[in-house]
Structure 1
């Protein structure tokens, strides 16, 4: 892969090439991507979607929105740092094409901002609830109506694929969705493959999938424009990651490692003294113990260690990226950047404690159970109504239920796969509170 191609400013529908040297520096294309994501309704809905603690009303606990903003900030720093090194190593990118180190930061920041835009309500249990409705629930009735890959799209419903759908999907009068630059779309594609085959290799890019069958055409166009390398041929489409995807992933990994841990401390799920020892181990090379000893409040101590930890991991991730840049460009780098971190042992310790004390806490488990039931109830109600309409025998209740779904999810010209996928994507678009409200109304509990 080649950087000048990977940094493409092309947008969906462009009939002419966008050159970096012709860009308006006050309204740079990659920065426009960030603006388009942040002003989108799908991004705004993240303010009421679970990051770790479902339905939490505690003001200091992160939502998907605050998490995404923080990942974007970390991603920008990663991109700028790496961009500076890339331009020093490949000066022709600046001298001939006009790229600046801030371009790398802008691409990573925009992709990182959008990285959770397709995630369902109620955290990762939301994905499982949607998927299991189709794999082992009433949604199994659709299996013979779809191709194998179409059915797998639903059985392994994936927030990354839904995110790609949101930012690229054309609707009447709106071509190309948010019309982000292909460089940003490439950096966004964490798992550049279809839902099948499942985990064909141990490569990090094959861990999940990143595109529904409905977006396969635009997915291939973006990959070809960027010069991503095909990793499989024939009927199974997959490509190497865009190099900057590794930085988006690292930003996410850094934030959930440190900040989810911080949420656990603030909620009292992890004792402060016990938790701070873990963070101190991570930053022992850079901590100013004299300054640290003067900090009186937990908030100040935690804030100081958080900042040091994030900065430590940013520097480490950038060094790893540059060390393996050649392998990354050849598609031979097979793990996340932090998997090579000199602080991997400390990171693993923090994540293990978070899993034990936060993700498996009684509050989280009980609320995930409630969210699971709500999403399955909504899916069953909506899918039954769509199927009845498709087969020409809708009940009055079905017709009323369908009126609660926004028109953009009810394109009558679509195939049954598209109709059911749209229902799953609508349910995934709901905020935690809206899902609860709709479920109560449909069950008659809100009257």
Structure 2
């Protein structure tokens, strides 16, 4: 089944009936962006690891600044793609302009990391490992397979969908009530944990959000690719491209600012991504401004290339038959691969980073163990009065007092919600208090 742009751009909000009108002054997708920016989970990204955990320089990016930059790039990608789509299919897209495409992609981009736990992808891997071979393995053993896999492959992407559709509102039936177009564009992996690739373990929603996922899929009309698997929303490829562009280019700039790569190394790699050398570059004397100027020019070039690849493959994308990613099929793909290998060895694999990861692993496993132990005691006792004073105090630290009758899957989710929602600094403080160090 070919996906239709008229459905893919649905302004219907999750949990609502009927689409919101698209008006020029402030369309529903702009409101989506605003709702994400003003929620507490987004604010916490200012103290969550991007590449450098608790960095020594306040210049380098954190998750919040990265999300803003990705959203800016995504808006440009969406608007440019929108112009071509409207030229090809404009007759069936009433009241939609190229700007709406940009607003949808920007809104999906601004929330693309909102479900990431403390300490970046290392934190995500630590939570997975705790449930696979740590004390968590026994806790999830009695659960049905899909619920077990939710924890075995704990996913920041699925947590992000949960944050936006359930946790960030006083009512959980739709959460922030974002449009289905934005939510579907946000979802990089449109399937649950049972359909995830065993090797990669990536998926887009937990079992708890299955009904919300199905409502979203039905509204925008994603193509079914198999049992419980769907094709991506076409604009999701632009979210991925925006993220890839920012990672590739900005890691170079941050690495230079931190002194981990030289000016010559940064300049050479940024020049390799340009179709031509900018004529005004020679007018700049300061090395920091030179790198910033090149970064801006490279981002502009890569945006154009991503748009070209998308438009050339639009038919395959709408049929759900496109494989890979946009930047991987761009002319600069070999240079981007070389930069990824370079930054991995020179920026990511450092002694300081490994020391931070050791600390982060100790913090997260201790927090998971403490809060799960308290919930397990409550489950067995059935009454908060009976459990130990320490366990009682731990449960009082939760955002809301747990229900003794809650089933295990639900209270395990509440623990991962709490721990993954912490900032790096807050997780460290909670760990220190658990150990009696503060």
TM-score, scaled relative to structure 2: 0.95
Give ranges in structure 2 of 5+ residues lacking alignment.
none
Q: In the alignment, is the contact (CA less than 8 A) between 1:145 and 1:416 conserved in 2?
A: no
Structure 1 residues 411 and 263: alpha-carbon distance in aligned structure 2, compared to 1, 3 A threshold: farther
* Structure 1 residue matching 2:122: 3-state secondary structure: helix
Please state how far the C-alpha of 1:209 moved relative to its aligned partner. 0.5
Corresponding position: 1:279 with 2:270: yes
Corresponding position: 1:310 with 2:302: no
Counterpart position of 1:11: 13
Q: Which one is further off, 172-181 or 359-368?
A: 172-181
Please state how far the C-alpha of 1:93 moved relative to its aligned partner. 3.5
Structure 1 residues 132 and 84: alpha-carbon distance in aligned structure 2, compared to 1, 3 A threshold: same
Q: Distance in 2 between matches of 1:215 and 1:231?
A: 20
Counterpart position of 1:300: 289
Number of equivalences: 431
Structure 1 residues 376 and 156: alpha-carbon distance in aligned structure 2, compared to 1, 3 A threshold: same
Counterpart position of 2:150: 153
Q: Distance in 2 between matches of 1:17 and 1:424?
A: 33
Corresponding position: 1:398 with 2:368: no
Please state how far the C-alpha of 1:197 moved relative to its aligned partner. 3.7
Please state how far the C-alpha of 1:23 moved relative to its aligned partner. 2.9
CA RMSD of aligned residues (A): 1.6
Counterpart position of 1:217: 211
Please state how far the C-alpha of 1:151 moved relative to its aligned partner. 1.2
Corresponding position: 1:60 with 2:59: yes
Corresponding position: 1:196 with 2:194: yes
Q: In the alignment, is the contact (CA less than 8 A) between 1:374 and 1:436 conserved in 2?
A: yes
Please state how far the C-alpha of 1:141 moved relative to its aligned partner. 1.1
Corresponding position: 1:178 with 2:176: yes
Please state how far the C-alpha of 1:327 moved relative to its aligned partner. 0.2
Structure 1 residues 58 and 80: alpha-carbon distance in aligned structure 2, compared to 1, 3 A threshold: same
Give ranges in structure 1 of 5+ residues lacking alignment.
none
* Structure 2 residue matching 1:55: 3-state secondary structure: coil
Please state how far the C-alpha of 1:287 moved relative to its aligned partner. 1.7
Deviation digits for residues 301-326 of structure 1, max 9, x if unmatched? Answer: 10111011101110000000000000
Q: In the alignment, is the contact (CA less than 8 A) between 2:32 and 2:179 conserved in 1?
A: yes
Structure 1 residues 226 and 436: alpha-carbon distance in aligned structure 2, compared to 1, 3 A threshold: same
Counterpart position of 1:435: 427
Q: Distance in 2 between matches of 1:252 and 1:23?
A: 27
Q: Distance in 2 between matches of 1:89 and 1:154?
A: 43
Q: In the alignment, is the contact (CA less than 8 A) between 2:241 and 2:327 conserved in 1?
A: yes
Q: Distance in 2 between matches of 1:207 and 1:339?
A: 21
Q: Distance in 2 between matches of 1:396 and 1:208?
A: 39
Please state how far the C-alpha of 1:431 moved relative to its aligned partner. 0.3
* Structure 1 residue matching 2:225: 3-state secondary structure: strand
Q: In the alignment, is the contact (CA less than 8 A) between 1:287 and 1:308 conserved in 2?
A: no
After the TM superposition, list the runs of 4 or more consecutive aligned residues in structure 1 that deviate by more than 6 angstroms: none
Counterpart position of 2:232: 241
TM-score, scaled relative to structure 1: 0.93
Corresponding position: 1:123 with 2:123: no
Please state how far the C-alpha of 1:26 moved relative to its aligned partner. 1.8
Q: Distance in 2 between matches of 1:406 and 1:246?
A: 35
